[in-house]
Amino acid sequence: MTRNELKQLWFNLDYSNVKERKQIIVETNYGHVEIRQEGPDGFSTFKTNQGKGDACVDHGIYQKLEKPEYELIIDGTIVK
Protein backbone atom coordinates (compact mmCIF):
# COMPACT_ATOMS: atom_id res chain seq x y z
CA MET A 1 0.00 0.00 0.00
CA THR A 2 1.39 3.39 -0.95
CA ARG A 3 1.65 6.42 1.29
CA ASN A 4 -1.05 8.20 -0.72
CA GLU A 5 -3.44 5.24 -0.37
CA LEU A 6 -2.90 5.22 3.41
CA LYS A 7 -3.57 8.95 3.54
CA GLN A 8 -6.83 8.53 1.61
CA LEU A 9 -7.95 5.73 3.94
CA TRP A 10 -7.17 7.91 6.97
CA PHE A 11 -9.16 10.87 5.68
CA ASN A 12 -12.12 8.69 4.70
CA LEU A 13 -12.62 6.99 8.08
CA ASP A 14 -16.23 6.87 9.27
CA TYR A 15 -16.64 9.06 12.36
CA SER A 16 -20.45 9.03 12.41
CA ASN A 17 -20.61 6.76 15.48
CA VAL A 18 -17.80 8.39 17.50
CA LYS A 19 -18.94 9.87 20.80
CA GLU A 20 -18.29 13.61 21.09
CA ARG A 21 -15.44 14.44 23.45
CA LYS A 22 -13.86 17.83 24.11
CA GLN A 23 -10.86 17.99 26.43
CA ILE A 24 -8.09 20.29 27.61
CA ILE A 25 -5.27 18.09 28.89
CA VAL A 26 -2.47 19.60 31.03
CA GLU A 27 0.73 17.67 31.81
CA THR A 28 2.66 19.70 34.39
CA ASN A 29 5.76 17.45 34.33
CA TYR A 30 6.36 18.38 30.68
CA GLY A 31 4.60 21.75 30.48
CA HIS A 32 2.23 20.50 27.77
CA VAL A 33 -1.30 21.76 27.18
CA GLU A 34 -3.34 19.84 24.61
CA ILE A 35 -6.76 20.85 23.29
CA ARG A 36 -8.53 17.84 21.79
CA GLN A 37 -11.92 17.45 20.12
CA GLU A 38 -13.44 14.24 18.73
CA GLY A 39 -16.86 13.56 17.36
CA PRO A 40 -18.99 12.68 14.33
CA ASP A 41 -17.40 15.54 12.36
CA GLY A 42 -13.88 14.12 12.82
CA PHE A 43 -11.15 15.18 15.22
CA SER A 44 -8.70 17.95 15.88
CA THR A 45 -5.86 18.41 18.32
CA PHE A 46 -3.50 21.23 19.24
CA LYS A 47 -0.58 20.86 21.64
CA THR A 48 1.68 23.57 23.02
CA ASN A 49 4.50 23.78 25.55
CA GLN A 50 3.87 26.44 28.21
CA GLY A 51 6.71 25.64 30.59
CA LYS A 52 6.62 23.35 33.60
CA GLY A 53 4.51 23.97 36.68
CA ASP A 54 2.12 26.85 37.19
CA ALA A 55 2.50 28.36 33.71
CA CYS A 56 0.93 25.38 31.96
CA VAL A 57 -1.81 25.09 34.61
CA ASP A 58 -2.62 28.79 34.16
CA HIS A 59 -2.84 28.33 30.40
CA GLY A 60 -5.10 25.29 30.82
CA ILE A 61 -7.43 27.25 33.12
CA TYR A 62 -7.46 30.17 30.67
CA GLN A 63 -8.43 27.79 27.85
CA LYS A 64 -11.21 26.32 30.03
CA LEU A 65 -12.59 29.82 30.61
CA GLU A 66 -12.53 30.45 26.85
CA LYS A 67 -14.10 27.05 26.07
CA PRO A 68 -16.46 26.15 28.95
CA GLU A 69 -17.86 23.13 27.08
CA TYR A 70 -14.45 21.43 27.29
CA GLU A 71 -13.40 19.09 30.11
CA LEU A 72 -10.21 20.17 31.94
CA ILE A 73 -7.81 17.37 32.91
CA ILE A 74 -4.66 18.20 34.90
CA ASP A 75 -2.17 15.34 35.33
CA GLY A 76 -4.90 12.74 34.80
CA THR A 77 -7.39 14.30 37.22
CA ILE A 78 -10.63 15.83 35.94
CA VAL A 79 -11.09 19.37 37.31
CA LYS A 80 -14.65 20.58 37.78
Q: Which residues of 39-57 are buried (b: 16+ CB within 10 A; e: fewer)?
A: eeeeeeeeeeebeeeeebb
Sheet containing strand 42-49, edge to edge, reads: 42-49, 32-39, 21-27, 71-74, 77-79
Q: Is the pLDDT of residue 76 over 90?
A: yes
pTM equals 0.81
Q: Which tops the pLDDT comparison, 35 or 53?
A: 35
Residue 63 · residue 71 · CB < 8 Å: no
**pLDDT tens digits, one per residue of 3-48:** 999 999 888 888 788 899 999 999 999 999 999 999 988 889 999 9
Average pLDDT over residues 67-73: 96
